[in-house]
Amino acid sequence: MARTLITGGLVVTASDELHVDVLVDGGKVVALATHGSHGWTADHVIDATGKYVIPGGVDAHTHMEMPFGGTTASDTFETGTRAAAWGGTTTVVDFAIQSKGGSLREGLDAWHEKAEGRCAIDYAFHMIMSDVDESSLKEMDRLVELGVTSFKLFTAYPGVFLSDDGQILRAMQRAGSNGGLVMTHAENGLAIDVLVEQALARGERGPRHHGEVRKALLEAEATHRVIKLSQVAGAPVYVVHVSAREAVAELARARDEGLPVFGETCPQYLFLSTDNLAEPGFEGAKYVCSTPLRPADHQEALWRGLRTNDLQVVSTDHCPFCFKGQKEMGLEDFSKIPNGLPGVENRMDLLHQAVVDGRIDRRRWIDIACATPARMFGLYPRKGTIAPGADADIVVYDPHAEQTLSAATHHMNVDYSAYEGRKVTGRAETVLSRGVPVIADRAYVGHAGHGTYLPRGLCQYTN
Ligand code: URP
Ligand code: ZN
Ligand code: ZN
Ligand code: ZN
């Protein structure tokens, strides 16, 4: 395997900013040394002068080809992981799904089938539990052994994914004993369904009503509830896609008590708002996801949470549906719009824009987008950092490149961009996955099947 030397760049990790060269051999980082201080030779030299050299992004929340609401998310593992690489992400953790009445193992096998031989970058799985009973609880232990060490449970979507409080408590107790991490989609789905029915009865059928019925208070209530259940179980909880300031407050309060309670937010909640849901005609459907976008004044609480570490991770919840034919399923009824936004290609750049704007610093950018998701989900230090022994998942990032995000230029298999026309500064120029170029000088040189499955260890993060 080729030896690669990356020279002249500023290596940024969650903990350091170092003017060093990086030597890659056998797919691993083998050494770092001050520019010009060594006599290293290599088969390939990448000149990163004036650029950042950062760990590949770790997106811990994606849904490639996920069946949802009578349709299927439009990115396959092939197209979605390729788009991720274009955006400087080199690992995705996707959600395998247990079917109702099926076993966890059957769900996991089905997701392996979809992904195997198709990914451009490395991938791992969480498990969505749709049917918590004696047998699936027992199976959790086996999944942990197989490297699927996190389990998503829902307080939302009655009749589809919703688990009741007793089921969530049992899953948390089991995770407490086998080292797994329970992730929760925290919204009060039963109350939301009442409000949906009442809104539709009043003739409120457009996309913006999706945001109105999925109230921030009902996210806060469910967040509070899962925190208390985790406290009773004596197990940690990770709340996914936090969007409401009231939910951040619940997490902050629990963390102030020292509880192992963690929170993730997503770019859509940091950069978009209910103003997008209210765009004229049916345009708002492009922004229908759950938890929903909030009024813009919630964003400051999310940014603050990222700075104070009350939120630890930014993932995308990438779950794209085309506007034509898919989002349009809800033309007459917002509750039939498939939930989810595209974003796997945009996350690293949008968060870099937050660095440019002074909202977070460079190391925090790498922390929330690479290092902490890797640590949280048992992939660190193989992924999420640049250090001897780590996989050479490395991005040469041009912090000065200007780009305009658009469906016309993105690589996600979806017919719109949630960030159409937005200007951002910064772009991944070259992306290595285990030392192998996937993107080289803004050209795709990877291939489906390069990406390998990553069995994960246990959560390595403590409050
Ligand atoms: O709207 C969303 N978030 N769709 C994906 C499924 C989920 O709940 O994460
Ligand atoms: Zn969810
Ligand atoms: Zn999701
Ligand atoms: Zn390969």
CA distances to 66, 207, 288, 289, 308 from 339, rounded to whole Å, are 11, 11, 6, 4, 30
Q: How many domains does the chain have?
A: 1
Asked if residue 389 belongs to a domain, the reply is no
Ligand 1 near 214 CB (within 6 A): no
In a domain, 267, yes or no: yes
Does residue 60 have a pLDDT over 80?
yes
- Ligand 1: does its nearest atom lie under 6 Å from the Cβ of 185? yes
Q: What is the CATH number of the domain that holds 358?
A: 3.20.20.140
At 130, phi and psi to the nearest 5? -105, -15
Distance CA(147)–CA(152), nearest Å, equals 15
Residue 87, domain member (yes or no): yes
Please tell me if the CB atom of residue 319 comes closer than 6 angstroms to any atom of ligand 1: yes
| pTM for this prediction | 0.98
Token pair 């509070």 in the structure block, residue: 224
Q: To the nearest whole number, what is the mean pLDDT of the chain?
A: 98
**DSSP-assigned letters across all residues of 25-81:** ETTEEEEEEETTS-----SEEEE-TTSEEEEPEEEEEE-TT-EETTEE-S--HHHHH
Residue 289 is predicted with a pLDDT of: 98
Distance, in Å, from the CA atom of 73 to the CA atom of 321, rounded to the nearest integer, reads 5
Residues 158-176 have a mean pLDDT of: 98
Distance 130 CA to ligand 2 centre (A): 12
Task: Take residue 219 and report the two structure tokens written for it.
Answer: 């996210």
Of 387, 391, 385, 356, the closest CA to residue 369 belongs to: 385
Over range 48-74, report the average pLDDT.
98
Strand-pair category, 4-7 with 44-47: parallel
154 domain residue, yes or no: yes
Q: Is the Cβ–Cβ distance between 419 and 49 less than 8 Å?
A: no
Which atom of ligand 1 sits closest to the CA of residue 61? 9
Q: Which residues pair with 416 in a beta bridge?
A: none
How many residues make up the chain in this entry? 463
* Ligand lying closest to the C-alpha of residue 119: 4
- Please give the number of the atom of ligand 1 that sits closest to the Cα of 156: 8
Q: Rounded to whole angstroms, how far apart are CA atoms 369 and 208?
A: 30
Domain carrying residue 60: 56-376
The strands making up 261-265's β-sheet, listed across from edge to edge, are 57-62, 89-97, 122-128, 150-154, 181-185, 237-239, 261-265, 313-314
Q: Output the six-digit token pair for 71.
A: 């349709």
Beta bridge pairs of residue 223:
none
Sign of CA dihedral 396, 385, 260, 130: positive
Q: How far is the CA of 354 from the centre of ligand 1 (A)?
A: 24
Q: Atom 4 (ligand 1): residue with closest C-alpha? A: 340
d(CA 90, CA 118): 14
Res 142: pLDDT: 98
Whether 38 is covered by a domain: the verdict is no
Region 394-411: mean pLDDT is 98
Residue 293, pLDDT > 80, answer: yes
**Ligand 1 mean position, distance from CA 118 (Å):** 23
* Ligand 1 pocket test, candidate residues 127, 243, 287, 289, most atoms within 8 A of CB: 289
> Rounded mean pLDDT of 158-170?
97
Any domain includes 252 = yes
* pLDDT of the residue at 2: 87
Task: Verify whether ligand 1 is closer than 6 Å to residue 340 (CB atom).
Answer: yes
Using the predicted structure, report yes or no on whether residue 1 has a pLDDT greater than 90: no
For the residues 419-432, what does the mean pLDDT come to?
98
Task: State the complex-level ipTM.
Answer: 0.93
Indicate which residue's Cα is closest to atom 9 of ligand 1: 317
Question: Which residue of 62, 243, 319, 341 sits with most ligand 1 atoms within 8 Å of its CB, as the best mutation to test the pocket?
Answer: 319
What percentage of residues in the chain have a pLDDT greater than 90?
A: 99
Q: What are phi and psi of 241, to 5 degrees?
A: 30, 60
Output the CA 412–ligand 1 centroid distance in Å. 17
Which atom, in ligand 1's list, is nearest to the CA of 339?
Answer: 1
- Tell me: the pLDDT tens digits for 173-224? 999 999 999 999 999 999 999 999 999 999 999 999 999 999 999 999 999 9
Ligand 4 ion: residues within 5 Å (CB): 450
Q: Which helix (H) or strand (E) holds 181?
A: strand 181-185
The pick from 153, 321, 339 for probing ligand 1's pocket by mutation, whose C-beta has the most ligand atoms within 8 angstroms, reads 339
Residue 27 CB burial class (10 angstroms; 0-12, 13-18, ≥19): middle
Strand 44-47 and strand 181-185: pairing?
unpaired
195 CA to middle of ligand 1, Å? 19
Q: How far is ligand 1, taken at its centre, from the CA of residue 28, in Å? A: 34
Residues 6+ apart with CB under 8 A from 41: 3, 5
Of 94, 317, 414, the residue with max ligand 1 atoms within 8 A of its CB, to mutate for a pocket test, comes to 317
Using the mean position of ligand 2's atoms as its centre, give its distance from the Cα of residue 340 in Å.
Answer: 9
For residue 135, what pLDDT is reported?
97
From CA 277, how far away is CA 295, in angstroms rounded?
10
Strand partners, 395: 54, 431
Interval between CA 405 and ligand 4 midpoint (Å): 29
Pick the atom of ligand 1 nearest to 290's CA: 1
Q: Judge contact between 261 and 255, C-beta under 8 A.
A: yes
Among protein residues, the one whose CA lies closest to atom 8 of ligand 1: 290
pLDDT 10s digits, 86-136: 999 999 999 999 999 999 999 999 999 999 999 999 999 999 999 999 999
Rg, C-alpha atoms of the chain: 21
In a domain, 73, yes or no: yes
**What is the tens place of the pLDDT at every residue in 328-387?**
999 999 999 999 999 999 999 999 999 999 999 999 999 999 999 999 999 999 999 999
Q: Given a cut of 90, is residue 463 above it in pLDDT? A: no
Q: Which ligand is nearest to the CA of 315?
A: 3
